[in-house]
Structure 1
Amino acid sequence: MQQGLTQLGAKNMAFPEKTMIFGLFGKKNNNQAIVERQYQALTSAARMPDFYERLNVPDTVMGRFEMLSVVMILFFRRTRASATSGQEIAQEIVDAFFEDIDHSIRELGIGDNSVPKRMKKLAGMFYGRLEAYSNAMDTSDPTALAAALSRNVHPKAAHAVDMGGLADWMFAAEAYLSAQSEDVVATGSATLPNVA
């Protein structure tokens, strides 16, 4: 399952405690095939070239982290109202995401003593994005979502970068996911749309 961030192109109040993500690293995955299938679909979606060629996402390690965070957040939002099995699968998928990050950090040769601190920082980034994007999406505010995306995807830009196209895709993707049945989610077969 591990692909590393170099290959890869939530929790708000509705979800369990953030620290749960690290507690499941060693858990035996009883739904391994389902989780791997869904995780592969999400990572494939995050690598779609149009994000990097048309929607102002930088084609860098951090740009791909941002896009994978986006698709993970969308999937988590879809599973909030799902049956327990769907929520458990979502949690295991996000655990796999952080396992990939952990693996990627170690592949870069970063010392073991530094990994937990970096993981904590990246987890904080992920959950901060979940909160910001969810707030904008819950209020159907594409302008606020685009602004949040600009801050996160282009943190060093002197001026705001237009992320309206990605914001529009996120709203469309949420509707696309919502239309998929619980059976689709429970079997790890949920998909995300192409960029229009």
Structure 2
Amino acid sequence: MVSPHKGVSSEAQHLDCALTGGLLGERDGPQTCLFIWRAPIHEATEQDLAKTLVSCHCRAGAVLPARIQCRALHSTQEKIKIAALRMYTCCVERINYDDFFERCSLPDTLNSWFLVAQLHVWMCLVRMRQEGREGKYMCRYIVHSMWEDVEQRSKIMGIDAFQRKESMRVMTETFYAAIFGFDEGILSDDCVLAAALWRNLFNKQCEDPQQLELMVEYVRKQMQFIDALDGDDLLLTGEIKWRPLLEENAQSILKVPKPTYNDAGL
């Protein structure tokens, strides 16, 4: 049996081993374990995340006007937290991961899933940082939702507490290193962005320049697309419909869909 880790960097192998305890190291292993990380966020998990995100309290003993102001502020914050959870969910459930694995020759592992997911989370962070204080507040809870989801998935896979703590440490280091590299790349030319993708998406294992070119083009067009989305709508709904990796109609990117939501912003 050929290991899916062939051609993957030692850091990636360590991350996969720490996260899976060997369960995801074999493609022909138990399907229940193999595809847990690729499953949509479970309804119960999403509800738990939402409860965690929207839990906030006013200080006891405040005078009535201050309490009313606090309640109004927290109501806005709660909506932003829910929108942040939805935006993270868009990074997980609205991406064709198989397409990325095939086009970029990435191994079908938990580490590859995380690297693709964090790329889209980063693009959301770049967009929402443009929305001032509320946008930065939303960024905080997008990242919070990501770590809550990763931890829940690792628990479902049966990873013990020690391995889970170590894997979260490695993932955190990987994530913030990638954020720094991607930020530098998006503000620079395509060569710098390609280098950031080579390090943080391909794990320094890409030998096909066309794959790098594809991903540079993907990031540029995706950022162009989400930059055109209305900031108030994003703060209210958190909805993002990603462009496909390969465009059937390149002109379609210019047509930004209008979001749909009810009077409560849901």
Q: TM-score, normalised by structure 1?
A: 0.77
- Classify 1:104/1:136 alpha carbon distance in 2 versus 1 (closer, same or farther; 3 Å): same
How far apart, CA to CA, are the structure 1 residues paired with 2:196 and 2:83? Answer: 32
Q: Does 1:119 align with 2:151?
A: no
Determine if contact 1:5/1:100 at 8 Å carries over to the other structure.
Answer: no
Which secondary structure does the structure 2 equivalent of 1:192 belong to? coil
Determine if contact 2:128/2:135 at 8 Å carries over to the other structure.
Answer: yes
Alignment deviations for residues 9-58 of structure 1 (CA, whole Å, 9 cap, x no partner): xxxxxxxxxxxxxxxx9553523542333222221333354323334444
Tell me which residue corresponds to 2:202. 154
Out of 170, 177, 193, the position equivalent to 2:226 is 177
How far apart, CA to CA, are the structure 1 residues paired with 2:147 and 2:226? Answer: 23
Q: Does 1:5 align with 2:52?
A: no
Determine if contact 2:118/2:175 at 8 Å carries over to the other structure.
Answer: yes
How far the C-alpha of 1:115 sits from its partner, in A, is: 2.2
Tell me which residue corresponds to 1:191. 241
Out of 151, 159, 165, the position equivalent to 1:110 is 159
How far the C-alpha of 1:133 sits from its partner, in A, is: 1.1
Determine if contact 2:91/2:121 at 8 Å carries over to the other structure.
Answer: yes
Q: Does 1:99 align with 2:131?
A: no
Alignment deviations for residues 117-141 of structure 1 (CA, whole Å, 9 cap, x no partner): 22121011001001111101111x2
Which consecutive residues of structure 1, in runs of 5 or more, have no partner in the other structure?
Answer: 9-24
Tell me the amino acid that sits aligned with residue 39 of structure 1.
Answer: Y
Tell me which residue corresponds to 1:142. 190
Tell me which residue corresponds to 1:28. 54
Determine if contact 2:122/2:179 at 8 Å carries over to the other structure.
Answer: yes
1:69-84 equivalent positions in 2, closer than 5 A: 69-84=118-133
Identity value in percent: 19
- Classify 1:191/1:85 alpha carbon distance in 2 versus 1 (closer, same or farther; 3 Å): farther
Tell me the amino acid that sits aligned with residue 51 of structure 1.
Answer: F
Tell me the amino acid that sits aligned with residue 99 of structure 1.
Answer: E
How far apart, CA to CA, are the structure 1 residues paired with 2:169 and 2:52? Answer: 17
Higher helix proportion: 2
Tell me which residue corresponds to 1:11. none
Which secondary structure does the structure 2 equivalent of 1:155 belong to? coil
How far apart, CA to CA, are the structure 1 residues paired with 2:179 and 2:37? Answer: 19
RCO higher in 1 or 2 (8 Å CA, sep ≥ 6)? Answer: 1
Q: CA RMSD in A?
A: 2.6
How far apart, CA to CA, are the structure 2 residues paired with 1:4 and 1:91? Answer: 26
Tell me which residue corresponds to 1:90. 139
- Classify 1:163/1:115 alpha carbon distance in 2 versus 1 (closer, same or farther; 3 Å): same
Structure showing greater Rg: 2
How far the C-alpha of 1:66 sits from its partner, in A, is: 0.8
Could you list the runs of 4 or more consecutive aligned residues of structure 1 that deviate by over 4 angstroms after TM superposition? none
- Classify 1:156/1:131 alpha carbon distance in 2 versus 1 (closer, same or farther; 3 Å): closer
Which consecutive residues of structure 2, in runs of 5 or more, have no partner in the other structure?
Answer: 1-34, 41-50, 56-77, 248-266
How far apart, CA to CA, are the structure 1 residues paired with 2:136 and 2:165? Answer: 26
